Amino acid sequence: MTLHIIGIGLNDEKDITLKGLEIVKRSSKVYLENYTATLRCTKDALEKTYGKNIILADRELVEKDSDSILDNAKKEDVSLLVVGDPMSATTHIDFVIRAREKGVHIDIVHNASIMTAVGTVGLEMYKYGKTTSIVFPDEKWTVESHYDAIKENKERGLHTLCLLDIKVNEPSKENIKKGSDMFEKPRFMTVNQAIENLLDIESRRKEKIFTEDTICIGCARLGSNDSTIIAGKAKELLEADFGEPMHCLIVPGKLHFMEEEALKIWQVARKSI
């Protein structure tokens, strides 16, 4: 039979496609890759709508148990649910490679991804350069690759989508010392933290890539009924309240007249589409 890797979209139990739902219903086992904390509904809500028990599987388990998941998928239909569009993460590519080696048939059901949901903002999708991500800073080292990505994109007039860090199911440092694997509370980077981080790098490098006056766009919960999009200067967005996760930040390159018009919709005050 088949291992179905099924995208379930960005927000809740109603974001699955009819095709995805049909497959889930006929699957003998349904795994959900443990990014539930990033969904805006409970596992119960998913189970009720899908009419199926769902096995939570953190990425480690998916990697560790991939052999048994794949062996099952040889005999029956098995579904692995993934938030967003399923093939954006390397883990799934690895899964496909190993399935091929084992002779397991793979089927992918696509869904919405944050990478195109940002189209809502009104900047041309063709004018986005490389996507980057901003991670929570560590005490010992500072990542600046996102600053460089913005710089390189800007040099070509291109926009940059910055995906913001999530820490879910990570053991805290204190607990690691104690030998305990108790998890830290999930943490989601906010637009405000992302801007702080960029201004901090700017204050050291002084290359005028991301200053207090840089126009940028903060987004929260795109694709949901209470999404928030705010466009303005970095220093203005630093004060704005974007509410619950997930957030992302867009740093535009060269703006076309039409794009400027679109950004006016989201200017200054809090607006929801």
Given the complex with its own copies, which of 10 and 230 has the nearer CB atom? 10
Please state, in angstroms and rounded to a whole number, the distance separating the CA atoms of residues 93 and 113: 16
Per-residue contact string for residues 222-251; x = within reach of its own copies by CB under 8 A: xx-x--------------------------
Given the complex with its own copies, which of 216 and 262 has the nearer CB atom? 262
**Stretch near its own copies under the rule CB under 8 A, chosen from 8-16, 32-40, 67-75, 187-195:** 8-16
Please state, in angstroms and rounded to a whole number, the distance separating the CA atoms of residues 58 and 60: 5
In which residue are the tokens 């995906």 written? 163
Q: What region does 103 belong to: left with phi over 0, alpha with psi -120 to 50, or beta?
A: left
3-state class of 120 per DSSP?
A: helix
Q: What angle do CA 237, 235, 217 make, to 5 degrees?
A: 35
Q: Which amino acid is residue 101, in one-letter code?
A: E
Q: Please pick, from the candidates 158, 189, 198, 248, the single residue that binds its own copies as defined by CB under 8 A.
A: 158
- Say if residue 180 is exposed, middle or buried (CB neighbours under 10 Å; 0-12, 13-18, 19+): exposed
Q: Please pick, from the candidates 30, 52, 86, 250, the single residue that binds its own copies as defined by CB under 8 A.
A: 86
Please state, in angstroms and rounded to a whole number, the distance separating the CA atoms of residues 162 and 151: 13
**Stretch near its own copies under the rule CB under 8 A, chosen from 89-97, 168-176, 199-207, 233-241:** 89-97
61: number of CA atoms within 13 Å, CB side? 12
Closest contact distance (angstroms) between CB of 155 and its own copies is: 10
181 token code pair? 């694997």
Q: Please pick, from the candidates 67, 204, 261, 268, the single residue that binds its own copies as defined by CB under 8 A.
A: 261
Per-residue contact string for residues 159-198; x = within reach of its own copies by CB under 8 A: ----------------------------------------
Given the complex with its own copies, which of 57 and 123 has the nearer CB atom? 123
270 binds its own copies (CB under 8 A): no
199 binds its own copies (CB under 8 A): no
- The DSSP H or E segment spanning 92 is helix 90-102
Closest contact distance (angstroms) between CB of 264 and its own copies is: 8
Per-residue contact string for residues 128-147; x = within reach of its own copies by CB under 8 A: xxxxxx--------------
**Stretch near its own copies under the rule CB under 8 A, chosen from 25-33, 71-79, 81-89, 193-201:** 81-89
Q: Please pick, from the candidates 19, 29, 102, 233, the single residue that binds its own copies as defined by CB under 8 A.
A: 19
Nearest to 223 by CA among 240, 255, 248: 248
Please state, in angstroms and rounded to a whole number, the distance separating the CA atoms of residues 162 and 194: 9
Nearest to 120 by CA among 245, 215, 262, 270: 262
Q: Which residues contact 39 (CB under 8 A, 6 or more apart)?
A: 8, 11, 12, 46, 83
Applying CB under 8 A, the residues found at the interface with its own copies are 7, 9-10, 12-19, 21-22, 49, 85-88, 90, 93-94, 96-97, 100, 106-113, 115-117, 119-120, 122, 124-133, 152, 156, 158, 222-223, 225, 258, 261-262, 265, 273
